[in-house]
Amino acid sequence: MSPPSDPLSPQESLFQDSAAAPDLPEGFAYYPGYFDDKAQHMLLDEIRQIIAQAPLFTPLMPKTGQPFSVRMSNCGPLGWVSDRAGYRYQPQHPENGSPWPPMPDPLTALWENVSGFSWLAEACLINYYADGTRMGLHQDRDEDTFDAPVVSVSLGDEAVFRIGGLKRKDPTRSMRLKSGDVLVFGGPARLAFHGIDRVIKGSSALLKQGGRLNLTLRRVTAL
């Protein structure tokens, strides 16, 4: 059920936990098509404005300095960055030193609607996948607390998303993520291994230049 604060009326989560996904950790919810075409365009317009203020940067792997293929930006009070010094959250853009732009209203409403968490999200990481880019299997553990879920929104070309268990060697399953889909990872699923195997070129008309955007909303600091 969507609170009156959200102008959208999302459908119920298609599946939650073990019912349709017995091999995944509990606490996982999937809302296919949460954002309809009009809402995707409105959200994209907000993301364009954010990226105009906080340009996409190329994160580097800690120690080796090897560049990620995915480019990133952030909005909200804190943003995730990575360079030779390590992974961390910080309040400023790593290249222009400006504070991250504020969280746009549609993302605040989404968080209120699906997170089940009464405190606001502090960070929205914006990942841009050009054709041919991927993200290896990893856990998200750079936050001070794992009590809040991670909420993810996909925009643009479809992606082959892989999700496994709490150990790297646990079995994985793959899912096709489409523009407008929302995923929520809370409880044990918050620490599931996951990654993006590939992006399906030309599968969406939303981004004129092609590729895929993924937004992840998170709580970073402990309460």
Q: 10 Å Cβ neighbour count for 115?
A: 20
Quick one: which of 13, 74, 133, 152 contacts ligand MD3 (CB under 6 A)? 152
What are the residues facing 182 on neighbouring strands?
31, 153
Site string for Fe ion, 129-148 (x = CB under 5 A): -----------x--------
* Residue (of 180, 177, 182, 174) closest to 200 by Cα position: 177
Residue ranges with strand state E in the chain: 15-16, 28-31, 71-75, 79-83, 86-90, 123-129, 135-138, 150-156, 159-163, 173-177, 182-185, 194-199, 212-218
Largest CA distance in the chain: 48
Chosen residue from 135, 148, 206, 220 binding ligand MD3 by CB under 6 A: 135
Give min distance, CB of 220 to Fe ion, in A: 14
- Given ligand MD3, Fe ion, none, residue 196, with its beta carbon under 5 to 8 Å by kind, binds ligand MD3
Identify which range of 101-109, 115-123, 182-190, 203-211 contacts ligand MD3 by CB under 6 A: 182-190
Site for ligand MD3 in 63-82 (CB under 6 A): none
Residue nearest to Fe ion (CB): 140
State yes or no: residue 192 binds ligand MD3 (CB under 6 A): yes
Residue linked to tokens 């990481």:
125
Identity of the residue, 24 or 101, whose beta carbon is nearer to ligand MD3 in the bound complex: 24
**Contact present, 96 and 88 (Cβ < 8 Å):** no
Q: Which residues bind ligand MD3 (CB under 6 A)?
A: 125, 127, 135, 140, 150, 152, 159, 183, 185, 189-190, 192, 194, 196, 214, 216
